Amino acid sequence: MPEHHDRIILAGTELVTRAPCCPIVQTAGTLLRCEPDGLRLLSASSEQELLLAVGSEVRSATLSLDSGEVSVHLSPEGAARLGIAEELLIGRGFEFVRSDAELDRRHADGRRQLYLDAIALRPPGRPGGEPAFELVRLSAFGVTFATPRSSDRADRPEFVPWTELTEATLDLLTFELTVAFGRDAIASLPWLGGGARFVGELRVE
187 and 141 share a domain?
A: yes
Domain residues for the domain of 70 are 9-92
Residue 129 resides in a domain = yes
Q: Are residue 144 and residue 197 in the same domain, yes or no? A: yes
Alpha carbons within 13 angstroms on the beta-carbon side of residue 62 total: 15
Do 123 and 62 lie in one domain? The reply is no
Is 151 domain-assigned?
A: yes
Task: Indicate whether 190 and 126 sit together in one domain.
Answer: yes
Asked if 152 and 184 sit in the same domain, the reply is: yes
Q: What confidence score (pLDDT) does residue 3 get?
A: 39
- In the prediction, which pLDDT does 185 show? 95
| Boundary-marking domain end, from 39, 59, 92 | 92
pLDDT of residue 94: 76
What pLDDT is stored for residue 152 in this prediction?
60
Q: Are 100 and 5 in contact (CB under 8 A)?
A: no
Where residue 126 sits, what CATH number does that domain have?
2.30.29
Contact present, 112 and 33 (Cβ < 8 Å): yes
- Cα angle 8, 14, 19; round to 5: 120
Asked if residue 2 is part of any domain, the answer here is no
**Number of structural domains found in the chain:** 2
Question: Do 84 and 161 share a structural domain?
Answer: no
Residue 175 is predicted with a pLDDT of 86
Number of Cβ within a 10 Å radius of residue 125: 7
Assess if residue 4 is contained within a domain: no
Task: Give one DSSP letter per residue of 73-110, joined into a string.
Answer: EEPHHHHHHHT-S-SEEEEE------SHHHHHHHHHTT
pLDDT at position 75 is 97
Interval 85-142: pLDDT, tens: 889 999 988 776 666 676 666 665 655 455 566 788 989 877 666 678 888 888 878 8
> What are 30-37's contacts with CB under 8 Å, separation 24+?
31/70, 31/72, 31/91, 33/112, 34/10, 34/61, 34/112, 34/172, 34/173, 34/175, 34/204
Cβ–Cβ under 8 Å, residues 198 and 132: yes
The per-residue pLDDT for 113 is 55
How far is residue 135's CA from residue 34's CA, in Å, rounded to a whole number? 22
> Using CA atoms, how far apart are residues 187 and 148, in angstroms rounded to an integer?
17
User: Mean pLDDT of residues grouped by 10 in the chain (205 residues)?
Assistant: 45 80 79 88 93 96 91 96 92 72 63 65 76 83 82 73 95 92 94 91 67
